[in-house]
Chains A and B, each alone.
Chain A
Amino acid sequence: MVVNKWLVAFGSYLQMLGRVFRRPDRMRMFGRRYLNELYQLGIDSVGIVLLISLFIGAVICIQFKMNIQSSWMPLWVPGYATREIMLLEFSSSIMCLILSGKVGSNIASELGTMRVTQQIDALEIMGVNSANYLILPKILGLITMIPILVIFSVVAGILGAYATAYIGHIGTVAELTQGMQYDFHQWFFWMGVIKAVFFAFIISSVSSYYGYNVKGGAVEVGKSSTNAVVSSSILILFSDTFLTQLLS
C-alpha cells in the first residue's frame, strides 16, 4: 500500500515536471520571475550560508587542533582537514540540507498558499501553464545560485579556520596555510559543485511538488511545507551516497 502511494506520488511528480519543462509562454515574464527567484532563493540565502560556514570552519579547525592532534600528527592537519571537509561534504551536502529547510519551506508554503487562495486556478483559467510559470524559474534560479553559494561557503569556512589562528591564536597562520595547500585536488571542488546542483534540483522540484499539489487550507499548507523539507532532506542524503560513490 505504501509502495503504491509512493509510485502514485512519483508519477504525479514526473507529470508535474513534464508541465514545468516547457517553453515559457512569454520569455519576458519568465526573465522577470527568474531574476526575482535568483534574489529570493539565492541572494537572500547568502547571509545564513556565510554565517554557518564561517563558524563550522572555525569549529572544525579548533576540534582538530585541540582534541585530535597528537605528537605524531603533522601540524598542518587541521588546515588540511578543514579544507577537505568543507570542499567534500559541508559546503555541498550539509549546506544543501540546511537550505532545504530555508528554501524548501519557502517554496512549498508560497505555492501552497497560492493554491488554496485560487491564485493558481486563476493562472490556469487565463490559459497560463501555471507549473511552468511558477516552478521553472524557481528550479533554474536555485540551480544557478547554488554553485555561488558553495563557493561562498568554502571561502567562509576557510576564513573561519584562519580566524582561529588570527583571533584565537590556536596554531599559526603558516601551519594552516601549509595544510590548506597540501595535496589539493581541483576535482574535489567540482565534485562539491556537481553534487550541489543535483541537490538544488531536488530541493526546488520536490518542494514545488508538495506546494503545488496542496488540497485544503492553512493546515495542509503547513503540512506540505514540513513534508517538503523532510522529503528533500531524505532524498539529498540518499543521492549524496550515490553521487559520492559515482564521482569519487
Chain B
Amino acid sequence: MITLQHIKKAFGDKQVLKDISTVFESGKTNLIIGRSGSGKTVLMNCIVGLLQPDEGEILYDAENVVTMTKYERTLLRRRMGMLFQGSALFDSMTVLENVMFPLDMFSNDSYKERKRRAMFCLDRVNLGEAADKLPEELSGGMQKRAAIARAISMQPQYLFCDEPNSGLDPKTSLVIDKLIFELTKENNMTTIVNTHDMNSVMGIGENILFLSEGYKEWQGCNAEIMDSKNQKLNDFIFASDFSKRLKAANEENIELKDGINNQ
C-alpha cells in the first residue's frame, strides 16, 4: 500500500501538485488519470523518488520516502519495478540480458538460476522466443512486454507504469492492460498506472485518481466513473463525439429498460 499525504510540488512559481492525499491499495491496479499537464507525471515521479515533493509525505506501507536516507531509498527501489513510457530498455543488451540485468546486479543466485527466472518472466509475457533479439528488433508492443518482464524480474512489491499504452494500437493496448492486471493479482503488488487511455480506465481501473490542474478532483473505481456528476471528470471522459454518443445511447437504453420495467 502506498499512502500520499498533502503532497505539494512547484517548479518556480508554477504550483504543479496542490495538496494531494490518497491511498493506493495493494493487490489493485491504481490509475492516475487526467489531461496533459494536470500533474500526473510529476506525481508519479514524486512517488518513485525521481522528484522530491516540496511538502507532504509518501508512505510505502510504513516507510516514509521523503525522510529516508539515500541508502534506505536505494534498498526500497530494489522492491520496485517500473515500466517507462518509452520502455527504456538498454539498447546495447539483448532482451534476455535486459531482463536478467536487475538479477545480475542484486541477486546472489547462480547464473543458471538467474537465467531460469528471466526466461520465466519472458515466457510470462509471451516473449520467450525473442530472448536473443535486441530491443530495436522488437515492435512497440513487444518492447513494452519486455520492459514489463524486466520490471517483474525481481518480484517487486510495487509496480509503476508510466503511460503503458502510448503509441500502441487498441488491441495491443488491451494485451498490455491485461498483463498488468494479471501480474498485479498474481504477485499481490501495489500497481500504479499513469494513463489517459479510457480503455485502460474502464478495463483495469480498480482505483482511479483523477487529477485536474494539480488538484485531486475525483477518486473512485471504473464502475462508478460513468455515473459521476463531477463536471471536470465528465469533460475529460466524454471529450470525443464518439464517447458522447456512446453515453447518450447508453442513457437512452437505460431509460428504455426503466420504461419497460415500470410497465
Contact = CB atoms under 8 A, between A and B. Distances in A.
A44 to B, nearest CB: 14
Interface in B79-120: 80, 82, 84-86, 88-91, 101-102, 104-106
A121 B86 CA distance: 12
Contact of A122 (B74, B84, B106, B154): B84
B104 A26 contact: yes
A178 B14 CA distance: 74
Interface string A123-166: 01111110000000000000000000000000000000000000
Nearest to A129: B74
Task: Tell me the interface secondary structure of chain B in the complex.
Answer: mixed
B104 A125 contact: no
Interface string A91-130: 0000000000000000000000000011101101111110
Given A117-B88, A118-B86, A121-B50, A29 B77 contact: no
B245 interface: no
Contacts of B74: 127, 129
A29 B102 CA distance: 11
A26 B104 CA distance: 8
A110 B235 CA distance: 43
Contact of A125 (B50, B91, B101, B105): B50
A125 B77 contact: yes
A169 interface: no
A122 to B, nearest CB: 4
Nearest to B104: A29
A118 B84 contact: yes
B152 interface: no
A40 to B, nearest CB: 10
B62 interface: no
B84 A121 contact: yes
Interface residues of B, number: 23
B84 A126 contact: no
A126 B102 contact: yes
A12 B222 CA distance: 46
Contacts of B85: 118
Given A26-B104, A26-B105, A29-B104, A125 B86 contact: no
Contact of A126 (B50, B78, B86, B89): B78
A28 interface: yes
A116 to B, nearest CB: 9
A127 B84 contact: no
Interface string A52-90: 000000000000000000000000000000000000000
7 nearest A-B pairs in the assembled complex, by CB-CB distance: A127-B77, A118-B88, A122-B88, A127-B78, A125-B82, A127-B74, A118-B84
Interface of A: 25-26, 28-29, 117-119, 121-122, 124-129
20 contacts: A25-B106, A29-B105, A117-B88, A119-B88, A119-B89, A119-B90, A122-B84, A122-B90, A124-B50, A124-B77, A125-B50, A125-B77, A126-B78, A126-B80, A126-B102, A127-B74, A127-B75, A127-B78, A127-B80, A129-B74
